[in-house]
Structure 1
Amino acid sequence: MIKLNEYIGSIKRDIAEARLISDLKTLEIAQQFAQNEYLKHFSIPRFKTENIELTIPIAIGEMSIETEVYERINLSEFMKKTRDKLISLVNRRFTSAEVEIIDSIIKPEASKLDKSIKEDTPNNEVDTLLKTYSYDVLELLLESFRISVKEDEEVLAGELIAYLRDDIKPVKPTQPSIPKPKVIVESSQLKDVNPEHIIHVKMILNEEPMEWSFSEDEDGKVVSKLLPE
């Protein structure tokens, strides 16, 4: 399934690309006419569409609600909090050189986590990514320094997850989330849909071609603008 707005947008894009292909062919014909002694006096054939009317059958598949948008992680602060909590969890003193090693363990994992969380990453996926991150940095720390802990590693990782979760903050939406429909458009799937549940979307597309217009400003510089033909 595809979002309705994306589907309609793709139709408009394809029509625009079709016009591009047509114009490129017109250019090719114009070059051929210019090289012919007789054809160069003929007008160049070029097609222009006044209106394109489409009737598109679709069926509503599901209604999706936009996921929360996440702020980027403050990496330096996030890494520091991870390091401090890890040291607290394993309950061991580390030299300054060892702390640098811990930072080198955390940095690539934190960067990977930051890149994995996009603006539209679902909440449950964020939790999964943070869980993987927490288990990985804890395991790498224990292996690198050959540390054995009395507590269950799962418990320690859980504490780290809970400690860091607030650092991955969703941005509060300025407007309430509006459900967006996902639609069935493939004919092979539409044939299995009850005809009463099929919606026919009617679209009329008007072509408004643009052309470059060139002029000089007060300083004598050439300024180009896209204007309607």
Structure 2
Amino acid sequence: MPTLNEYLGGIVSEIASSRKMADLQTVEIAREYAADDMLKNFSIPRMKIGTVDLTIPFAQGGVLPILKLRDFAYDEITKVMKTGYIASDTSNDQKLKAFLIDMEVYYDDIIDQIKKENTPTLTAEQEKKFDIIPQYITEFCLDLPNFKWDGVKSETLQKSLKDRTLFEARKIIEKVDEREIIVEASKLMSLDPKCLIYAKMSVSESGMEWSRYEDINGNIIETLIPE
């Protein structure tokens, strides 16, 4: 189950993607107009998003659990690699799980060190202490024969492991009380209506466009400005 910020952020992201699709279609229409002797005299139609009003039902789920590195790292690996990881190769799968248990000692040690520093949030210096963990895990994965790297780069896995490691560490260090939410229609329909929460959102378009100008030294500067 997602958290509320992940769910609402995903909806806004999908709306932005729909605008991108509309712009790509506008480009195709512009080419057709340019190639036609009559159409090229007309303005090119371009759709814009005004204001999208949404009413989103959801229900409160449970508090996100504190996970061990062996669990969240394995979950992240299988999620990123998808069919590129052959879990049915039990021999190498067990090697990976054993290695993650070993790396868990480093992770727990770093957590303990940071707890003693008694900082309310993770600092940039503290975050760097975790860098070695996704690096070592990725290097180990590269040596296992049950990993197929056809569609995924090792850098992608390492970044994903780093982001997940910091996310899980923040739940402990910063005592983040993030809660999962229930959004599936089938599950919501089975709940008492009194348990439902409705989030009302209004999403309005605020576009950016490239501006190009020359500074006093004659350099060409390109920057994004509001439309």
Picking from 211, 214, 219, the partner of 2:212 is 214
Match of 1:21 in 2: 21
Q: Distance in 2 between matches of 1:10 and 1:213?
A: 29
SS in 2 for 1:44: coil
Deviations 1:14-68 (A, max 9, x none): 0110000000001100110111111111111111122110001101111227779
* Structure whose alpha-carbon radius of gyration is higher: 1
The Cα RMSD (Å) is 3.2
Correspondence list, 1:146-225, <5 A: 168-170=109-111, 171-172=114-115, 173-175=119-121, 176-225=174-223
Contact 1:215/1:223 (8 A) holds in 2: yes
Aligned-pair identity in percent equals 36
TM-score (norm 1): 0.56
SS in 2 for 1:2: coil
TM-score (norm 2): 0.57
Q: Distance in 1 between matches of 2:225 and 2:57?
A: 35
Structure 2: state its 5+ residue gaps. 75-96, 122-173
* Cα gap change, 1:32 to 1:196, in 2 (>3 Å): same
Is residue 2:23 matched to residue 1:54?
A: no
Deviations 1:123-176 (A, max 9, x none): xxxxx9689439xxxxxxxxxxxxxxxxxxxxxxxxxx9xx7798221335244
Which of the pair is proportionally richer in helix? Answer: 2
Match of 2:45 in 1: 45
CA-CA distance at 1:8 after TM superposition = 0.7
SS in 2 for 1:208: coil
Q: Distance in 1 between matches of 2:187 and 2:199?
A: 17
Q: Distance in 2 between matches of 1:28 and 1:8?
A: 31
In the alignment of these two chains, the number of paired residues is 147
* Cα gap change, 1:11 to 1:66, in 2 (>3 Å): farther
SS in 2 for 1:16: helix
SS in 1 for 2:49: coil
Structure 1: state its 5+ residue gaps. 71-112, 118-127, 135-160
